[in-house]
Structure 1
Amino acid sequence: MPLLQRPFHGDEELGKKDDDHKQGTKGHMGRAWQQRRLNGPRRSNLKKIALVLLVIIGFYYFFKNMPTDLEQPRQRPSFIPPTGPNAPAPKSVPERYDSVSKMADDDASETPLHNFNGPIKFYQLASTLHAVTTRGSSPINQNVLFAAASLKSAASLLPIACDMGIRARNYVHFALMGRDDISMDILKSVNGVGKDCGITFHDARPDFSISSSDWRMEVSSAAAFKHINDFVNPQATFVDSSGEEEVWFLKGLNQRAATLGRTIIELPDNAGQNLMWITLLDSSSLSAWNKASIDFIVHAQPSASGSLMRLLESLKKADFFSSSYPRLTIELPRDIDEPSKRYLEGFKWPPKSDHSSSLLTLRHRIPQHGINSDESSARFLEGFWPANPSANHILVLSPQVELSPLFYHYLKYTMLEYKYAGNNPAVENLLSLSLDLPSTYLNDTTKFTPPVSNSTVGDNVVNTGVSPFLWQAPNSNAALYFGDKWIELHDFVSQSLESQRTRPTPTTLNEKAVSKTYPSWLEHVLRLARARGYWTLYPNFENEDRLVTLHNDLYQPPEEFAEEVKSDLENENDELGADPSHYLSLKNKDSETTLLKTNLLSMMPNKGELPKPWDMPVLTYDGERVEVDGLHKLGLAYSEIFRREVGGCGLDDMEKVKVEGEVGDLFCLKDQKS
């Protein structure tokens, strides 16, 4: 039988076994197959390589997101409070340094690198904030805050905070926001802060604070203040401005406080000596620290350059501590003497400033003829108008006065206490604060002796010594007039002058209770004070030092009364016309007193603690001592007479309701016109 034809004729290799094609088999086909196997990986190897790459990528992202080398924050600063009412304290707190700072600890000569910018966490802040029991949730409370990042600044602030806490007018909180890894217990111990200080401490330092960058610490300060504000609502926050504090801390805190509308009080380096009166103020007063502003106005007299320069030089030497400088307006007469011109050309206000930040305004009168009392009053009052009557006030200064370097301390202290303190109903009757203690009454014919404070012990009245007092008589030498009363005075003078123009001069306006040695506008202020029952607060120190001294050596009478006063003084030189009691203040050789230059509190009665208005002596304008209710009754009686004689009101006219800032209830002229 013939053999079957093979399907692949001539291919002898197909009939062999595959033993010859195993690895290592020689031959052309075997070598080619072996080469392909060596050059190309198998599918299982590719899976292993992919798995290794995934693991490497995972480790890469894991280490990239570790806090130790994060370059930009990947989330906003977070505050981690306890998760429940009985939540346990935070677990182990991370150390405040990383590997870089650990290496620096081994070599003390190296400084830790401040390059960490990881997410911010406050591990110690939640526990103290949740424990606050001082009405922190209320927007109006008695909480104040002292905050520091530098340990030197903390050492400066803590004695002040302790003194304030001991006085117990406020609830005092202290927050540490710096880099240092000091424990709060050691901070208290080193600075002598005990439980008697009554300070609530808050550790507001972030994690990894030592190695944190300035940017991270700035954001941390702002975030920490935000959390403290949410739980404490501090009415005022004290920081150190002596130059020892961290720049990033001040920047972050101030920016966040401005956003939240919170008051920041910057304390200078001598605050622990000269500024301790701030510890006597309550939280309501302190919250107005930066909101209340004061303008200065000086009405210069002709041919009196020496007096003007002496006053301005004393202003330049005054201590304005950390407060902003007030605006200064100088009303110049028509004829300016040459020395005054040269002096004002080089005068700068504030003293250390360039022209771009000048707060000086010069006003020069145009009319060449002499002015009468009404024109003088109107021109002077037009020199100031408060944009915000509750916050803008004016200090009137006579060129005859020289100021103590500490006058602004007393002015701000009394202004904050008596104008902005909480629960003070007597503020409605407070017209002004005087820096001057007059030697005579307003008529300048009788010597004035300041009253002493009395208290009742059983059935006996006991003299308790020197005290500030309330006097119905206003002052034009050196007095701060409050903005709300100033706009009321504007309306009062305006309607009084209109009454004089349309009606015969009444008896009340003919009565001149103020001497011609004082400017004419003071007479209008006295009439308003008598009609409203207003008073002026006068200082009274235990020694002879004063806030201002009055120089009569270069005295010039007001322009509107210049001719009359000079004529009267010349007549007094004639023995036949001499009146020994006339213009008594000009004859008083003891009017020039020494100026207060030492610590303010040491010179004030009761160690500087200001008495309540109802505990001070109260005097009528002519010196009669009365109670507060008695002064109110006198005001009602005078206002009735004023309404009839000046205001044009008849007996049948109904009594009008008093409107704040207006005196329409004292006048009926508009009603008659209509």
Structure 2
Amino acid sequence: MPWSQTPKRPFRILVYLIAFATFGLLTRQLFSIITKTTRAPSPPSPVAHDWKANTPSTIISEPPPIPTIIANNVTDSVIKEDYWPQWNTWEKDGWTLGPADPKQSYLRNLQMYKERGHDSVGIKSLLDQSTLSSAIHAAPVVDVVIRVTDIKKSQPQLEAIVAQKIKPKTMWLITSSSSSISTTTTNIISFLNDNNITNINIRTILIPEYDPQDDLFQQQRQDMWLPPIDTTAEWVWILEQDVVPVSSQYLETMLRLMHMPPYENALLGTHGVLFPSNFHNTNNDNNNIICLPTTQIPDVSQPVDMIQGSWIIKKEWILLMNNNKPTIQEMQLPLGYVISQQLMKKVDVVTISLPPLPSPQSNLLDFTNNNNNNFKCQNIQNVYTQNSEWKRMRALRINPTVLDYRQTTIRKHSYQLDTVLFILDGPDQATAFYPLMCRFGYTIHVIVSGSERGLSGTILKNTLKQTGCDRHVMVHDLNLMTVPGEGDEDIFAMEMTLRVTRLTRVLRPRATFYIQRNNQPLPRALIMMAENEEIVAIGLPADDIIHALWISDLSFEALEQWHTPDINLVVITDRRPHSLSRLLQSSDRSFYLGDKVNLVVHMEQSSDSVTRMLVGNFPWHHGKKTLRHRIRKGGLMPAIIESWYPKHNDDYAVILEDDVSLSPLFYVWAKYSILRYRYSNNNNGSGDEDRLRQMMFGVSLYSPRSLELHPAGRRPFHPDNVLLNHYPPRMPYVSQIPCSWGAVYFPEHWREFHEYLTIRLMDINQDRLLNITVPKSRSERWKKSWKKYFIELVYLRGYVMLYPNFQDFESFSTNHLETGTHVKTNAKRLSAINAFLVPLMQRDTILAQLPNHRLPNYDDLPVLDLWGYLRTHDELDETASQWHTKISTCPRKTGTFDPQDILCPFQLDEAIPEPPKKPKKIKTVYAVEPIEYVTMYYDTHQQKQQQLQEEVDDEYLPQPIDVAVMPSEPDNGSNVWDDHWLDVLNDLVYMNELYNRVNTHYSNEDLRDILTADAELDLD
């Protein structure tokens, strides 16, 4: 097409759009540059502490000040979810990350870097305050264990041992040469005699000889091996080969400290080693390994991953280590590391490295090292980075390092980067939890039991990586071995729980998830562990997890309140057993996410024997079942209002009439909504969250098709007609209309309604001083409906209820408009049911239909008033405030859930006489229903013959009665006193006519038949 024939208008529009988009991008880029250049400068970093300049002080409780962590010290590029700093951030982050936890010991706070360790002055002060009893000096309480290969090379070590002020009781010699045992023993005894030491026993233990042709790390296995020692001493002092204490006071000094309260349950040493993070470490370079003492970090007592050279261990620790020997793989690791790990795993003993302590003799807490470089970091670095077993152990991520504890505290203290923990025992549990684990937007931790139980950490990590779900999942493999024989599951549960406990103490998850299995030892053990560690344990049935994927959208505060809401089912029934059976069966088939849900059934005085038999025999496996039966006719309003009174502010009720049936997902919707809007702290960013949350009085399970409060009568309603131009599709909304066909009511509002209704009814029956109305509401015509009074309270408070808004009115409850007093025949019911019956959600599409696949923030929800018009919370509150002045003389008070400010009547004009009260009608009420006697005759012989025939042939046994399909007679007045029901029935003809005008698939003949049937309704 030539240019002259090209349409000009579309082309101009296209050019304008391109220009507008370009201008928008340039403006955004310019704004970004301006923002960066004008951003306020970050606060200056604190001056780095001079770790070498330790101020002398004798006050241990107030050590020299050390800078604490400040979040603003870290640049914006570092503050991100995967922030996990290394040693080089210590001066910037600070040393102590208080405040200390008063519930924890000094050692535990020191391990978490919430307490500062003692410097050399503080240690000296502790030593000055401590004394050892004379009995310890007089009677040896220590055995010493050394390794001897050559008596000449070991002589300096032996001289240093016997020179100690506290002499050992027994000297255990570890040797690998059987031919030299006697010679070595003789030489050592001769050496002791020459030094006038006769009270030291000499014992020898033979170990396998070292093969020089073995791999590089076989020597480490030889040094690690700790043989069983049959000792009666309270302490065992283990020395590496050629390690020589400098001072004769070394043993006494260490014993004094280990008898002092701060360090009495710690493994102490003077040459510690710190390893890189075992959880979030991406660089295992040797430079990340620090050997103490060093100038990189302060000279104070601090937790370390292992001690080199010398270990003083309690006797009970030795016994425990001998009863729980390391595996063959662990025997390839350095002795100091295995000792620290075994003590931490088995008895929760923290390894502490002490600072140098100067003395006139030189350093009291130091060693000389002859002919060997065990103390040099190079040896430890080579083993750490090259030892295949150590690499495998690091890949399991089950041994937290000191840096893990420290960085967990840093993250929690400064950046609030919390996490949750999943505990998996086998591939089936991993399959069940997989969809939920992949939905989290932050790092979560997963503990697996190991390949012996069917799932290793490597397999899980590879699976997550293949599906792109590994970015925020950190896997820890316990690598547990199953124990064959009777009671193996109990032993396995205990062992797994102990190891999980160790990880939880460093990870500090806000919630722990596990598979709920009844009468299994592992879930019980995990629950006890979580209670002891003050962590919320959430057990989910494997089949219910797919319906709880919204857990990943909840805040940590909501997760920690998982068990707080107490949701009960409250059922009101009279004499419709088939409807009641349908309700009970639908509720029994629902998903309860592992929660205990109690069932309370309230039966009217006129309930028949079939109803009573049904509720009495109906099994309820989800909680406690409670039955109540009235002895005097009360009617629908007392039956509903008196059916529940909240015990506390976390007590919720799902109030259900017997002609309602439930979706299997009704509890999922209720639990999600309650946790999201009642227990989260991220619903609103404006600071009015508490005020807005107080406005919601419940959660509806039903999606209404009509509006009932217009003065002219009921009108069809569809949320899309109101919300579609302002909100995304399927947006849930809040409305002021209380739902009576399946809803969860909140405790504070229901308690307020109880008090309000009590005074309102008392005033109506006595003085009639209150003049409370709702303008232009059809509920003013109702005189004996509980909803009338709830609407009054809602209108005067600005309260709202959450409503679902799924496709085609898909709901979690529906009303079947059962036959009763006003609907005499099933044909009439079928003609009216289209206006009220809604489809129940059977397939879980809650998250799929919600905008952004989650419930929105509370203040983002659309707000509808009593007549279905779009409003705001402020507008509802303003309307309520204005109308309050017309019905009450008291100033309006909100947020207290106390209705007294509403119930302040105006004084009556004395010149106007009060209207005479109508005399009350006297009604005859029978306390007991009339008894009808029926005489029956039967033949005993015939009955016996029939019984024998039934025993012969089981095929002809009578089938059980299914009350769900039994016809029932009209209830003869169960709803006669409820004006709301009268309005519903009066509107049936009109509603069906409107409904069928919209749904044109009905023929004229069908429409004529329906309207004719509606016209025959007997409304009394």
TM-score (norm 1): 0.68
Match of residue 796 from structure 2: 531
Q: Which of 528, 549, 574 is the matching residue for 2:814?
A: 549
Alignment-derived partner of residue 152 in structure 2: none
> Which of 280, 286, 296 does residue 553 from structure 2 map onto?
280
Q: Which residue of 2 aligns with 1:11?
A: none
Q: Which amino acid aligns with 2:614?
A: Y
Q: Distance in 1 between matches of 2:761 and 2:846?
A: 44
Q: CA deviation at 1:534?
A: 0.5
- Residue equivalent to 2:440: 164
Contact 1:136–1:232 (8 Å) recurs in 2:
no
Instruction: Show the counterpart of 1:639.
Output: 884
* 2:707 match: secondary structure: coil
Three-state SS of the structure 2 residue aligned to 1:255 is helix
Count of matched residue positions in the alignment of Structure 1 and Structure 2: 550
Work out whether residues 748 and 897 of structure 2, in 8 Å CA contact, stay in contact via their aligned partners in 1. Answer: yes
The answer as to 2:780 corresponding to 1:492 is no
CA distance in 1, matches of 2:661, 2:814: 5
* Map of 1:26 onto structure 2: none
* Structure 2 equivalent of residue 23 of structure 1: none
* Match for residue 843 of structure 2 among 582, 589, 598: 598
User: Cα gap change, 1:616/1:260 in structure 2, threshold over 3 Å: closer, same or farther?
Assistant: same
Residue of structure 2 in register with 1:330 after alignment: 601
Does residue 406 (structure 1) correspond to residue 665 (structure 2)? The answer is yes
Which whole-Å CA distance do the structure 2 matches of 1:138 and 1:387 have between them?
39
- What residue number does 2:43 align with? none
Alignment partners' CA distance in 1, 2:755 and 2:709? 25
Q: Which residue does the alignment assign to 2:631?
A: 366
Instruction: Answer whether contact 1:657 1:665 (CA < 8 A) is retained.
Output: yes
2:774–2:780 CA contact under 8 A, matched in 1: no
- Assess if the C-alpha contact under 8 Å between 2:884 and 2:892 holds in 1: no
Query: Contact 1:469 / 1:540 at 8 angstroms: preserved in 2?
Result: yes
In the alignment, what sits opposite 2:903?
667
Q: Which residue of 1 aligns with 2:643?
A: 383
Equivalences for residues 249-260 of structure 1 within 5 A:
249-260=522-533
Aligned to 1:98: 327
Q: Out of 582, 589, 611, which is 2:834 matched to?
A: 589
Distance in structure 1 (CA, Å) of the matches to 2:702 and 2:268? 53
Q: Does 1:451 align with 2:719?
A: yes
5 Å-filtered alignment, 1:102-121, equals: none
SS at match of 2:772: helix
Given that 1:295 and 1:328 are in contact with CA atoms closer than 8 Å, whether structure 2 keeps it comes out as yes
What do the CA deviations read for 1:141-174 (whole angstroms, capped 9, x no partner)?
7532222344553454344212223xx5xx5233
Structure 1 unaligned residues grouped into runs of 5+: 1-43, 67-74, 103-116, 352-357, 557-565, 574-582, 644-648
SS in 2 for 1:191: helix
CA distance in 1, matches of 2:580, 2:780: 22
TM-align CA RMSD: 4.9
1:129 CA drift (Å): 4.3
Contact 1:318 1:405 in 2 (8 A): yes
Alignment partner of 1:439 is 2:705: yes
Q: Which residue number corresponds to residue 24 of structure 1?
A: none
Residue 475 of structure 1, CA deviation = 0.7
Quick one: structure 1 residues 551 and 76, their matched pair in 2 at CA, closer, same or farther if it must change by over 3 Å? farther
Q: Which of 424, 428, 444 is the matching residue for 2:694?
A: 428
Contact 2:567 2:598 in 1 (8 A): yes
Q: 1:260 to 1:62 in 2, by over 3 A?
A: closer
Aligned 8 A contact 2:707 2:717 in 1: no
Separation of aligned partners in 1, 2:624 and 2:588? 13
CA distance in 1, matches of 2:695, 2:722: 22
- The share of aligned pairs that are identical, in percent, is 20
Partner of 2:994: none
Structure 2 residue 514 is matched with structure 1 residue 239:
yes
* Superposed displacement of residue 119, structure 1: 5.7
Matching residue's letter, 1:98: T
> What amino acid is the match of 2:580?
L
Residues 139 and 307 (structure 1 numbering): CA distance in 2 closer, same or farther, change over 3 Å? Answer: farther
After TM superposition, give the deviation of residue 266 of structure 1 in Å: 1.5
Counterpart selection for 1:146 from 408, 411, 422: 422
The answer to whether the aligner puts 1:481 opposite 2:741 as a matched pair is no
- Say whether the 8 Å CA contact 2:449–2:456 is kept in structure 1: no
**TM-score normalised by length of structure 2:** 0.47
Distance in 1 (CA, whole Å) between partners of 2:581 and 2:715 is 29
Describe how 1:168-179 pairs up with structure 2 within 5 A: 168=442, 171-176=443-448
CA distance 1:365–1:662, change in 2 (3 Å):
same
Matches of 1:401 and 1:621, distance apart in 2: 23
> Which residue number in structure 1 is paired with residue 294 of structure 2?
none
Partner of 2:228: 64
CA distance in 1, matches of 2:844, 2:563: 23
Letter paired with 1:450: H
Indicate the structure whose relative CO is greater, using CA pairs within 8 Å and at least 6 residues apart: 1
Q: Tell me if 1:339 matches 2:598.
A: no
Q: Any conservation in 1 of the 2:404–2:506 contact (CA below 8 Å)?
A: no
Query: Aligned equivalents of 2:476 and 2:718: distance in 1?
Result: 51
In the alignment, which of 567, 573, 581 is matched to residue 309 of structure 1?
581
- The residue that corresponds to 2:464 in the other structure is 191
Q: 1:395 aligns with which of 647, 654, 659?
A: 654
Question: Which of 619, 629, 638 is the matching residue for 2:864?
Answer: 619
Runs of 4+ in 1 over 6 A off after TM superposition: 57-62, 75-82, 94-97, 138-141, 193-196, 208-216, 453-456, 515-519, 583-586, 669-672
Amino acid at match of 1:289: W
The amino acid that maps onto 1:314 is S
C-alpha displacement of 1:176: 4.0
The question of 1:132 aligning with 2:408 is answered yes
Q: Distance in 2 between matches of 1:330 and 1:159?
A: 37
TM-superposed CA distance for 1:281, in Å, is 2.3
Counterpart CA distance in 2 for 1:65 and 1:153 is: 43
Change (3 A) 1:530 1:177: same
Deviation digits for residues 184-206 of structure 1 (CA, Å, limit 9, x no counterpart): 55531133378865435263738
Letter matched to residue 317 of structure 1:
R
Letter in 2 for 1:132: T
- CA deviations 1:241-264 (Å, max 9, x no partner) are 368xx9554343211212344221
Residues 1:143 and 1:64: Cα distance change in structure 2 (over 3 Å): same
> Matches of 2:532 and 2:452 in 1, distance apart?
27
Give a deviation string over 1:28-72, Cα, whole Å, max 9, x none: xxxxxxxxxxxxxxxx9xx99x99x95458789973359xxxxxx
What do the CA deviations read for 1:66-90 (whole angstroms, capped 9, x no partner)?
9xxxxxxxx9999999759975496
CA contact under 8 A between 1:295 and 1:395: conserved in structure 2? Answer: yes
- Could you tell me how far 1:535 is from its partner in structure 2? 0.4
Rounded to whole Å, the distance in 1 between the matches of 2:563 and 2:267 is 31
Q: Note the alpha carbon deviations across 1:454-511, whole angstroms, 9 max, x for none.
A: 899xxxx566323211111101110101112222222222232344355325443598
Q: Tell me by how many angstroms 1:433 deviates.
A: 0.3
> 1:454 & 1:504 partners in 2: Cα distance?
39
User: What does residue range 17-36 of structure 1 map to in structure 2 within 5 Å?
Assistant: none
**Structure 1 residue 432: Cα displacement:** 0.6
CA distance in structure 2 between the aligned counterparts of 1:317 and 1:437, rounded to whole angstroms: 21
1:508 is paired with a residue of what secondary structure? coil
Structure 1: which amino acid aligns with 2:600? T
